[in-house]
Amino acid sequence: MKITRRGFGILAGGAVVAETLLGNWPMLAQPAAGEAADADKLAAMSLTEVSEMVHNKTITSTQLVKALLDRINVYNPKVNCYVTVMAKEALAQAAQLDAEQKANKFRGPLHGIPIALKDNIDTAGTRTTAASPMFKDRVPTEDADIVRRLKGAGAIILGKLNLHEFALGCTGDISYFGPTRNPWSLEYVTGGSSAGSGAAVSAALVYGALGTDTGGSIRCPSAWCGIVGLKPTVGLVSIRGIIPCTADLDHCGPMARTVEDVALMLGQMTGYDSLDIFSVPSTPEDYVKAMKQPVSSFRLGTPQSFYDHLDPEIDKAVKAALEVLTKLTAGVTSSAPLWDGSPGAGTGDADFYHHDLIEKYGLNYMPPTRARFEKLENPPPGTKVPTAADAARAHQKLMTTRRMIDSSFKDFDLVVVPTTRLLAPKINDSLAVEAKGGGFGGGAGGAAGGKVYDWFAPGGGCMNTSPFDAYGVPAISLPCGFTESGMPIGLMIAGPHFTEGKVLALAYAYQQATQWHKKQPPLTAETVVPPIIESKSSPENK
C-alpha cells in the first residue's frame, strides 16, 4: 500500500486531533506554584497510600481528583495519554463518595480513588474509541462489566486512555489521537497496546489504570514505563464490554506504581460473569494478604528460550535481579522448560470481528492497520486464506495448551524471565518502520537499526509475553533496573493458573528488596516535546 505524505502526516500527527477532541472537558485554572507543588506531591503517592488517607479521613476524593486534573492540564499535552478526561463526571462521583466517607460508609479499599480506563473498555454515555477513526464518535449505552464492578467498589473513573489502534500493536504509536509518549523520555514509545495506561500511571496522572493484554499489552508498557502490570489468569476478570483484539487471548488487568497497588485493585476486579463466555468461577481471595506470604520456599525456573536475543542492558539487569531472588527463595534453576506444544491462537477472532466492521464502515483505519485488513479482505494471489477449519484447529490447540501448561510447573513454582527482549524504540524510528508497511507495532515485520522488531519474531516486542496469553496463566511485570540512558527495564514473574497470590508475593518480596519502583520520570512542566518527523523512508521520498 502506498502511504501518501498526507497519510503519513495523519499517522504521525494525530495529536492535533486529540487536542481538539479533548477540548470538550472543563479546563481548570492554572494553579499557583505552591498549589502545583502540593498537587504534584499528592499525585505522586501510591494508590495504597491515598486509600489509607481516604479511610483515615485525612484527604477527600475531591482533593485527589482536583490534584490529578491539575497535573493532566500540564502534562497530558506532553505525554498524550488521555483521549477523554471525564472531569465533570469524576468530580460528581467524588462529591457522592465524600458524603459516604463523612458518614463512615466505605465501599472498600478503592473508595474514592481515581482510576482510568484503556479506551477499548466501554463506558455508558462516554465515548469508547479504540483509538480509531472508525470509532471516534462511538458512545456505548452500557458499562463494561469491569467498569460496573469498579464503580460499585467506589472507584472514580477519571477518563479514557490512549492505545495502539484496536489494541493491534505493541508500541502504542499508531492511534487516531497521535502517539502516546514515554514519560521517561518523550522521544520513545511507551509500549502497547495499553500505551496510555502505562504513561498515565508512570507520569502520576492517575493512581491506577486498567489495561488489556492479548500478546503483552499490559506487561510491555509496564516494563517500558517503569511501573507494575498484572495479566491475571484467563477468565478471572470479565472481558464483557471490552472491544476485542483476539477474544480467545484477551485478558484485562490492573496497572499501577507498586505491587501493593496492583494487588489491591485486583481484589476488586474479579468475579464470575455469566454473560462472558470466557469467565470462570473462582474463589474470592485477599490478594494483599496473599502478597505478604513468605517466599523462602519458592523454587524458581528460568526457561532458557526466554533468554535468547536479549539486549545486553536487559541481560545485565535481569541477571542482577536473579541474584536478589536467589537469596530470597529456595533457589533458581536454569533448566526449566515450559510445555513446548504449539501455543495456538484464536486467529479467527480478530478477523471475523473486523470483517463485520469493514462491511459496515469500510477500511476506516489508520494506514498501518488498514494495510493489514486490506490484505485480509483482498489477499494477494497465491496467499492462503485462513478458513473456519483453521480457526477451529487453532482454538483446539489453544485449549490443549491451557490444559497442559500447569503440568510444566513440577520442579519449580514460578518462572522468572525478562519482560521484553529489546529496549523501547524511539517514536520516529517506529513510525518510519510502520510507514514502510511493517514492523515495530505488530505488523508484517520490519527493521530498524538492523533489528527485526515485530510481535513474534526472534527478539520481538512480544516474544516473551505472548506465550503467557496462550497459556492463560498469571504474569506480572515490575521494574528491575534502568539503562544507561535512563529508560526502565522490566522483570516478569509467572505461575500456574490461579496462582496470583504467589506471583504477587514474589514480586512484592523483590520490590521490598530493591528501590527501582521509587524512581520517578524526569518529566517537568518545562520538558520540551520533541517533534514527530516525517521519515525519509516514506514511500513518497524514495
Give 363's Cβ-side CA count (13 Å radius).
Answer: 13
Cβ 217 vs Cβ 195: under 8 Å: no
The enclosing domain of 306 has a CATH number of 3.90.1300.10
Q: Is residue 258 part of a domain?
A: yes
Tell me the C-alpha to C-alpha distance, in Å, between residue 230 and each of 256, 289, 337, 476, 522.
9, 17, 22, 4, 25
Q: Which of 66, 118, 436, 502 is catalytic?
A: 118
Q: Is residue 146 part of a domain?
A: yes
Beta-strand pair 82-85/251-256: unpaired
The answer to whether position 533 is within a domain reads no
pLDDT of residue 2: 37
- Total tally of structural domains belonging to the chain: 1
Please check whether residue 32 lies inside any domain of the structure.
no
User: What is the structure's pLDDT at 119?
Assistant: 98
3-state secondary structure of 532: coil
Range of the domain at 236: 39-336+417-422+457-518
- Whole-angstrom Cα distance, residue 134 to residue 148? 25
Do the domain assignments include residue 12? no
Binned average pLDDT, 10 residues per bin, the chain of 542 residues:
39 42 44 70 97 98 98 98 98 98 98 98 98 97 98 98 96 96 98 97 98 97 98 98 95 98 98 97 96 98 92 98 98 77 57 87 94 82 79 88 92 96 94 69 38 45 88 98 98 98 98 97 97 55 30
Integer Cα distance of 169 and 524 in angstroms? 29
57 within a domain of the structure (yes/no)? yes
Question: Largest alpha-carbon pair distance within the chain?
Answer: 69
Is 33 a member of any domain?
no
Has residue 30 been placed in a domain?
no
Cα 375 off chain centre by:
27
First to last CA, the chain: 14
**How does DSSP assign 44-111, residue by residue?**
TS-HHHHHHHHHHTSS-HHHHHHHHHHHHHHHHHHH--EEEE-HHHHHHHHHHHHHHHHTT---STTT
CA atoms within 13 A on the CB side of 438: 13
- Which of 51, 175, 193, 466 is the catalytic position? 193
153 by Cβ neighbours in 10 Å (0-12 / 13-18 / 19+) ranks as middle
Sign of the dihedral through C-alpha 206, 208, 212, 213: positive
**Residues 51, 185, 194, 217: which is the catalytic one?**
217
Question: Is pTM, for the whole model, over 0.75?
Answer: yes
Q: What is the dihedral of CA 428, 434, 440, 445, to 10 degrees?
A: -150
pLDDT at residue 451, rounded to an integer: 41
For the question of residue 217 being annotated catalytic, the response is: yes
